[in-house]
Each structure stands twice: as structure tokens, then as C-alpha cells.
């Protein structure tokens, strides 16, 4: 049983997943900092500091009041949208750098024998005219 567990734990997929989780956690911290420390203060200035977290709907009597905090839900939805847009823009920027690297690394394709032969025929025809 111990041998089977070791084989399972050392499979490539498990190790790749572990690395992905660790990198994902670190990437999550970067995105959280981007949103909380850069984007949200700018949005706060633009919107006049609107905060939805205080919005709630009180149901029942004051003694047994049930509060539905829909403002927290709205704030979470706004935060999600900002984080999703931030991740999209970050990934888009990384992909554009990758495409530039790929274009630089492209090697001209080898000329086929048929193309060389056609070029020779073209050159011979030009000489005759």
C-alpha cells in the first residue's frame, strides 16, 4: 500500500498540480494586491467612495430583525468583476509578450526541391526572353 501511494504521489500529474496550486496561490496574492492597492483606490476616487457593504433589507420586528445583506453580495460581485478583468488584462499582456517571442524565434521554412526547380525554370525562361 505504501509503494502504491508513493507511485501515485510521484506521478507527473500530481507534481504538476502541486506546482500549479503553489504558483496559483502566489498569483492570487498579486491579483489581490493589484485590486485592493491600485484599482480600488482609483475607483473609489472616481465613484466618490461608493461602498455597497452597508446596504441591507430588514425583515421582521426590531427585536427579532432578520437582515438580508444584499450590499455584501453586490460588493462581492463588483470585486469579482474587477478581479476577473484584472486577470484577463494580465494574461492578455503575458500572451502578447509570448507572441512577440515566438515571432522572433521563427526560422524561415526550408525551400522545397520543387520550389528550387521552379525558380530555376523561371530563371531559364527569363534568359530566353
pTM of the model: 0.53
Give the span between the Cα atoms of 97 and 16, in whole angstroms.
24
Residue 11 reports pLDDT greater than 80: no
**How many angstroms separate the CA atoms of 38 and 32, rounded?**
10
> How high is the pLDDT of residue 24?
87
Band of the pLDDT at 101, cuts 50, 70, 90?
low
Please state at what angle helix 70-105 crosses helix 12-33, rounded to 10 degrees. Answer: 120
Q: pLDDT value at position 103?
A: 63
| Rounded Cα gap, residues 7 and 1, in angstroms | 10
| Inter-residue contact 69 to 54 (CB < 8 Å) | no
Collapsing DSSP states into helix, strand and coil, what is residue 69?
Answer: coil
Residue 41 vs residues 51, 52, 77, 84, 104: alpha-carbon distances, Å: 12, 15, 17, 17, 39
Residue with cell 441591507: 56
Q: Is the pLDDT higher at 125 or at 62?
A: 125
Q: For 28-68, write each residue's pLDDT tens digit.
A: 888 888 888 888 788 778 877 777 788 888 887 777 778 88
Amino acid at each position: 500500500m505504501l509503494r502504491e501511494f508513493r507511485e501515485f504521489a510521484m506521478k507527473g500529474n500530481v507534481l504538476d498540480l502541486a506546482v500549479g496550486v503553489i504558483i496559483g496561490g502566489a498569483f492570487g496574492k498579486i491579483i489581490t494586491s493589484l485590486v485592493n492597492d491600485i484599482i480600488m483606490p482609483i475607483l473609489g476616487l472616481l465613484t466618490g467612495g461608493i461602498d455597497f457593504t452597508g446596504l441591507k433589507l430588514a425583515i421582521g420586528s426590531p427585536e427579532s430583525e432578520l437582515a438580508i445583506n444584499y450590499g455584501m453580495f453586490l460588493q462581492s460581485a463588483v470585486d469579482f468583476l474587477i478581479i476577473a478583468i484584472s486577470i484577463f488584462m494580465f494574461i492578455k499582456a503575458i500572451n502578447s509578450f509570448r507572441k512577440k517571442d515566438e515571432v522572433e524565434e521563427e526560422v524561415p521554412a526550408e525551400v522545397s526541391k520543387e520550389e528550387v526547380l521552379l525558380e530555376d525554370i523561371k530563371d531559364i525562361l527569363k534568359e530566353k526572353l
